[in-house]
Chains A and B, each alone.
Chain A
Amino acid sequence: MSEQYDVIVIGAGNGGLVAAASAAKLGQKTLLLERHNLPGGAATSFVRGRFEFEPSLHELASYGPAEHPGGVRELFDWLNLDVKLDPVPDAYRIINTGKDGFDVSMPTGIPAFIQKLNAEAPGNQDAINQFFALATESTTVFQALFSDPTKLTPELLAEKYPNFVKYGHKPYQTVLNEIGLTPKAQEILMAYWCYIGIPGDEFEFAYFAAMVVSYVALAAYVPQHRSHEISSALVKSLQDNGGTAWFNTEVTQLIVQDHAVVGVKTAHQTLYAKQVIADLHPNTVYSHLLQPDQVPQSELKKANARKLGTSGFLVYLGMNQSAEQLGIHDYSTFIAHTWDSRKQYQNMQQLNDNGFMIMNCLNIAEPNCSPKGTSILYATQLFDDPSWNHVTPEDYPRLKDQLTEHIIATYEAATGIKIRHAIEEIEVATPATFARYLRGPQGEIYGYYGQPWDQMMARALSLKSEDEPIPNLHFCGGTGFLMDGYSSAYQSGYMAAKLTTSKLNQEATVK
């Protein structure tokens, strides 16, 4: 058996791209295989008329300014990526269109954010200060887990952060209740739950609070030329470090010898490698790339115990007027008729009355993202099983129009901003679109749903013990230890490359 490669990475999503680029940077002979003709998975772009649309990224977390870099910026710098990103000016605008509704725009910067929250939800001063104290401590721990969870154990965390260990895994909403935040303050602080897709009564405090602090303190960033710029830069980094990427190449099978993975098959090639990193949903690997008897019983049980993540519905609008002409000032506007996140989550399981949406205007963060006098909007809704299960091809175009109509009407009614008359280009992505391009089961975009025992802390503290479910096979991407999202997937790819490299180095020492 000839080992042609040190590392083969399957799938050029965010996790796979960073895994491949990092492995090459760490000196491994690396081959990246991607089924689609583009890198990035959801981190790509598409052109309609004179617009180039961002398909999926809302806000890149953990990037931060050059003088105070977050983990993702440090990773990009280490990989020498030729990319330019700009900060999103404000945190978010949140609108509750239901009874006791509100419409609040939250700034970035922790002091400004606290001040605004106090003004909008009076009588919360002590509770808000307490929230940020706990959240800041969570962020410290989160950063440690983010950069290398294999160095941490429950015992070490209990010793160093006794307070954190008590509340870190409690549901976010429970902690907000315990510190006595009023319902309105809680609703305003609930906006980001949808980025991970776990409602607030189940979402562990440590991650949610760290996410709030990260976006508010470090700000969110977006690339100048859509996510495709980052994905392309990662391919270039891989190539500059001697690695190779093959597109339009589908892995059909993992080669297993003596119970260990030793390579992959494509439709036309057999390729051997010392280590394989899969930026694929584990369910896909176990159901499509391995024979049933090659899947360890423990992995089958694990996959069956987990729940698929949420999918999305997006409407992309190229407008023939500028954001200014349209009267749009906000980058992200979160709109719902209730801010009870459990209700929002339940409504995602049906096709009608989803009731929750986000509208982004890219020009607010990237004024030159479209020609002068135009702008780019995109609306996002989340959908979960079983909402799309009975849609037929014949229903499909009508359903897209029906949901689009609802989104446009909701946005116009909630904001008073009229957009319908200025639509020059429109495209829609549905769960079927994500299934088509990303190939995740049920078109999931969030990997596995975060059941209480399957969220960031449990996954991060299990990263090492759950690595290599079959010898030489590693996973990364949206199902990874930091759950879904761009920065999480990037970091999961980096960790996969590190674990792989340390294994290869150990083997080299033994030999």
Chain B
Amino acid sequence: MTNPLTTLLNERQAHFEAGATTPLPTHYPVNDLAAQLHPETQYLRITNVVDHGADAKSFYFAPATDMGTQHLAYFKAGQYLSVRFNIGQSQVTRAYALRSTPKDALDDCYILTIKLVPKGFVTPYIFAHWQVGTVIASSGPLGQLTYNQFRDQPHVLGIAGGSGITPFLALAGALVDGTENFDLTILYGSRRHDNILLGDELTALADQSPHIKVVNVLSDEDYPGYEHGFITRDLMQQYADLQHTSIFVCGPNALNAYVTEQVAPLHLPGGRLREELSGQVPVPETDVKIPATVTITVQIQDTQQTVTANTREPLLVALERAGIVVPAACRSGECGWCRARVISGQVNTPRTVDHRRAADRKFGYIHLCAAFPESDMTIEVPVHDLADQFG
């Protein structure tokens, strides 16, 4: 009797020998979809700049087709781009929420609205250098401050401070054009009634949809038709039944902290309070006696260099100052792009910004943007050595 397994192996060979000699595909529909949704890099050309007073500008972008970006990636309203900068010796990234809608992206338009931070490192550079024709590099769309029908309540209370309004512009726009479907009430904190960033644009959107309500809250003046003071629990309750509302917060650290504290006594079910952390720079815990600066030995592939780090700043900043192109996106401890390995030395990740995986804590990995050195250290940083294999 013939051995069935020998027959099987012969059958296998016969199928191989009968195989086609046509070249293998270099593109597949599902991989192409992934590449469209999640480009490694997007090259964006500024097509228009709109001033909002002296200290804020909107930049309109189209794909820089000559650089290889044919179309802009689609996204969920509320997401951000991590924009890459080369300023002096430093290679840095900053997260900016897209304030244009997903539908605009299908027409190859993104808009970022950026507020000048006079003593900041990046925004003065933007205001001095970005003009019509400038090409910038960014990530694909990232971030979680998006509406999800299974997770979020049908009514969302958006709480924004200053330029934290930008993701809500995108959410409101997506409600107007029907991409999203929920009720959005925005409590928007500004200083005075005459310097509300994108206030007119927001009002115009609210006028087009019964699902959008905007409440301006002024901190520095009491003006007719506006709320005045802090965004307190009472104020929130005035505009939303908090037991049946999802709260989205985007603004400075202090606003997030304040809202968290205000709603704590309500013991809302988990997940009802969602904060956009991107751009919020972690601060170190202060209870340890450590030197002001330390020396960090950085291993990148088979090379090694040393940099000086300020112990009051995240390790990411020290590396960027030294011109190391560190992978980074959210800069708030959350996304994990700047994950690196500690080989030796002491480092602290403040509990509130520790979003690391459990095994990363166990095996000595850190997120550089949320890690503060406390001694001389040796770390291994996976700087990108990528070519876009499927691009």
Question: A residues within 8 Å of B by Cβ?
Answer: 35, 37-38, 45-50, 52, 82, 154-155, 157-158, 165-166, 168-169, 225-226, 228-229, 231-233, 235-236, 244, 246-250, 252, 266-269, 283, 286-288, 292, 297-298, 300-306, 311, 318, 320, 374, 386, 388-394, 396-397, 401, 404-405, 408, 420, 422-426, 431-433, 435-436, 439, 441-443, 451-454, 457-458, 461-462
Q: List chain A residues, Cβ under 8 A from B90.
A: none
Q: List chain B residues, Cβ under 8 A from A390.
A: 29
Q: Can you spell out 8 A-B residue pairs with CB atoms less than 8 angstroms apart? A: A154-B5, A248-B386, A252-B387, A283-B25, A286-B24, A301-B17, A304-B20, A388-B30
> Chain B's nearest CB lies how many Å from the CB of A483?
14
CB-based contact B4/A169 at 8 Å: yes
CB-based contact B270/A374 at 8 Å: yes
Bound Cα distance A451, B12 (Å): 10
Say yes or no: is B251 at the interface (Cβ < 8 Å to chain A).
no
CB-based contact A435/B30 at 8 Å: yes
Residue of A nearest to B355 (CB): A47
CB-based contact B30/A443 at 8 Å: yes
As a 0/1 sequence over residues 20 to 48 of chain B, the CB contacts with chain A under 8 angstroms (1 = contact) are 11111110111101101110000000000
CB-based contact A304/B34 at 8 Å: no
**Cross-chain contact of A320 among B3, B16, B270, B386 (Cβ < 8 A):** B270
Bound Cα distance A203, B9 (Å): 16
CB-based contact A432/B16 at 8 Å: no
Give 19 A-B pairs besides A47-B355, A47-B356, A396-B74 with Cβ atoms closer than 8 angstroms.
A47-B357, A168-B5, A226-B357, A228-B359, A248-B385, A250-B387, A269-B301, A388-B29, A389-B30, A390-B29, A391-B33, A393-B33, A401-B149, A408-B150, A425-B151, A439-B389, A441-B31, A442-B28, A458-B8
CB-based contact B358/A267 at 8 Å: no
Bound Cα distance A329, B368 (Å): 40
CB-based contact B73/A393 at 8 Å: yes
Interface residues of B in 353-391 (CB under 8 A from A): 355-360, 362-363, 365, 382-387, 389-390
> Chain A's nearest CB lies how many Å from the CB of B79?
11
Bound Cα distance A304, B355 (Å): 44
Q: List chain A residues, Cβ under 8 A from B149.
A: 401
Contact A45 B385, CB 8 Å, known A320-B271, A432-B34: no
Contact A420 B150, CB 8 Å, known A233-B363, A441-B25: yes
**Cross-chain contact of B301 among A246, A287, A298, A420 (Cβ < 8 A):** A246
CB-based contact A311/B19 at 8 Å: no
CB-based contact A288/B389 at 8 Å: yes
**Cross-chain contact of A49 among B18, B36, B271, B337 (Cβ < 8 A):** B271
> Chain A's nearest CB lies how many Å from the CB of B161?
22
Contact A297 B21, CB 8 Å, known A229-B358, A423-B271, A453-B15: yes
**Cross-chain contact of B24 among A233, A235, A269, A303 (Cβ < 8 A):** A303
Bound Cα distance A228, B363 (Å): 11
Q: List chain A residues, Cβ under 8 A from B53.
A: none
**Cross-chain contact of B36 among A82, A393, A454 (Cβ < 8 A):** A393
Residue of B nearest to A223 (CB): B359
Q: List chain B residues, Cβ under 8 A from A244.
A: 302
Say yes or no: is B144 at the interface (Cβ < 8 Å to chain A).
yes
Q: List chain A residues, Cβ under 8 A from B382.
A: 37, 246-249
Bound Cα distance A287, B16 (Å): 18
CB-based contact A232/B30 at 8 Å: no
CB-based contact B5/A442 at 8 Å: no
Q: List chain A residues, Cβ under 8 A from B151.
A: 423-426
Bound Cα distance A366, B3 (Å): 46
> Chain B's nearest CB lies how many Å from the CB of A227?
9
As a 0/1 sequence over residues 142 to 170 of chain B, the CB contacts with chain A under 8 angstroms (1 = contact) are 00100011110000000000000000000
Q: List chain B residues, Cβ under 8 A from A374.
A: 270
Bound Cα distance A129, B385 (Å): 57
CB-based contact B30/A397 at 8 Å: no
Say yes or no: is B224 at the interface (Cβ < 8 Å to chain A).
no
Q: List chain B residues, Cβ under 8 A from A318.
A: 270-271
Q: List chain A residues, Cβ under 8 A from B4.
A: 165-166, 168-169
Bound Cα distance A396, B29 (Å): 13
Across the A-B interface, the 10 shortest Cβ-Cβ residue pairs? A424-B271, A301-B19, A305-B19, A154-B5, A320-B270, A247-B382, A393-B74, A435-B34, A229-B359, A225-B358
Q: List chain A residues, Cβ under 8 A from B37.
A: 393, 396, 432, 436
B interface residues, how many (CB within 8 angstroms): 65
Q: List chain B residues, Cβ under 8 A from A306.
A: 19
CB-based contact A301/B20 at 8 Å: yes
Interface residues of B in 89-137 (CB under 8 A from A): 106
CB-based contact B271/A388 at 8 Å: no
> Chain A's nearest CB lies how many Å from the CB of B288?
26
> Chain A's nearest CB lies how many Å from the CB of B240?
19
> Which of B20, B21, B28, B73 counts the most chain A CB atoms within 10 A?
B28
Residue of A nearest to B384 (CB): A248
Say yes or no: is B173 at the interface (Cβ < 8 Å to chain A).
no
Bound Cα distance A249, B15 (Å): 36
CB-based contact A49/B270 at 8 Å: yes
CB-based contact B358/A226 at 8 Å: yes
Bound Cα distance A398, B17 (Å): 44
Residue of B nearest to A284 (CB): B389
As a 0/1 sequence over residues 280 to 320 of chain B, the CB contacts with chain A under 8 angstroms (1 = contact) are 00000000000000000000011000000000000000000
CB-based contact B9/A300 at 8 Å: no
Residue of B nearest to A373 (CB): B270
CB-based contact A225/B30 at 8 Å: no
Say yes or no: is B11 at the interface (Cβ < 8 Å to chain A).
yes
Say yes or no: is B213 at the interface (Cβ < 8 Å to chain A).
no
> Which of B336, B356, B359 counts the most chain A CB atoms within 10 A?
B359
Bound Cα distance A247, B383 (Å): 8
Bound Cα distance A166, B4 (Å): 7
Q: List chain B residues, Cβ under 8 A from A424.
A: 151, 269-271
Residue of B nearest to A249 (CB): B385
Q: List chain B residues, Cβ under 8 A from A433.
A: 34
CB-based contact B5/A457 at 8 Å: yes
Q: List chain B residues, Cβ under 8 A from A283.
A: 24-25
Bound Cα distance A228, B269 (Å): 29
Q: List chain B residues, Cβ under 8 A from A422.
A: 269
Bound Cα distance A288, B23 (Å): 11
CB-based contact A436/B34 at 8 Å: yes
Contact A301 B21, CB 8 Å, known A45-B357, A423-B151, A426-B151: yes
Contact A388 B76, CB 8 Å, known A37-B382, A52-B357, A457-B8: no
Q: List chain A residues, Cβ under 8 A from B36.
A: 393
> Chain A's nearest CB lies how many Å from the CB of B380?
9
Bound Cα distance A251, B338 (Å): 21
Q: List chain B residues, Cβ under 8 A from A394.
A: 74, 106
Contact A287 B26, CB 8 Å, known A226-B357, A458-B8: yes
CB-based contact B31/A287 at 8 Å: no
Say yes or no: is B237 at the interface (Cβ < 8 Å to chain A).
no
**Cross-chain contact of A269 among B8, B356, B385 (Cβ < 8 A):** B385
CB-based contact B3/A165 at 8 Å: yes
Say yes or no: is B6 at the interface (Cβ < 8 Å to chain A).
yes
As a 0/1 sequence over residues 332 to 349 of chain B, the CB contacts with chain A under 8 angstroms (1 = contact) are 001011010000000000
Residue of B nearest to A286 (CB): B24
CB-based contact B15/A442 at 8 Å: no
CB-based contact B5/A158 at 8 Å: yes
Say yes or no: is B327 at the interface (Cβ < 8 Å to chain A).
yes
Bound Cα distance A443, B269 (Å): 36
Q: List chain B residues, Cβ under 8 A from A451.
A: 15
Contact A304 B387, CB 8 Å, known A320-B271, A391-B33, A424-B270: no
